[in-house]
Amino acid sequence: MKYLPSLLCAAALTSAPWAMAAVEVDVHRVSADGIGDSIGTVTFENTQYGLLVTPDLSGLDSSIHGLHLHTTPSCEPGENDAGEVIAAGAAGGHYDPDEHGTHQGPYVDDSHLGDLPALAVAEDGTAQVPTLAPRLEESDLYGRALMVHAGGDNYSDHPTLGGGGGRFACGVIPAHSPG
């Protein structure tokens, strides 16, 4: 009987609306030639405050990198608007279901929903610092691509899409929950 309160608390936490199974995305290097080796994973998990984003990546340049959800679940090369084949071009643009058409970051309501907190990479090339995307939940992930950009992100439209630059790594999120 003395464990009953603890069991009830654990049951309440695991049945809360934000307590769903985590989504783990395998992330691969990408180039205009195709999809390369895995550089690790990013795990997404609902919390009562938004989506917890936990990277476990290596082999990156030590700096800040843009991190976004893109519209199409593909990391294959594809053409940009100028007709040039680019890395992970088949992923399309930033996920923007409400068609705000502006890149203002993960904390502004009138921005692409796919704008995630920037990815911080340590001197040894690893990224393991969790962040929180307060406007997203797990259901927003399905049928998308996760993109790591070569450059940082200033959460602005100038330079274009926050200056993240080329697509460096990508992971596909299936169109449905694994459960």
Ordered by start, the domain boundaries in the chain are: 18-173
Architecture of domain 18-173: Sandwich (2.60)
Closest CA to 165 of 41, 27, 38, 65: 65
Does residue 43 contact residue 24 with C-beta atoms inside 8 Å? yes
Write the CB contacts of 32 (distance below 8 Å, at least 6 apart in sequence). Answer: 77, 85, 86, 87
**CA–CA gap between residue 119 and residue 122 (Å, rounded):** 10
* Sign of the torsion angle spanned by Cα atoms 26, 112, 167, 85: positive
- Bridge partners (DSSP) of residue 177 are none
From first to last of its 179 residues, the chain has per-residue pLDDT tens of 443 333 333 333 444 454 557 999 999 999 999 999 999 999 999 999 999 999 999 999 999 999 999 999 999 999 988 899 999 999 998 898 988 887 777 888 888 888 899 999 999 999 999 999 999 999 999 999 999 998 777 665 544 444 457 899 999 998 876 65
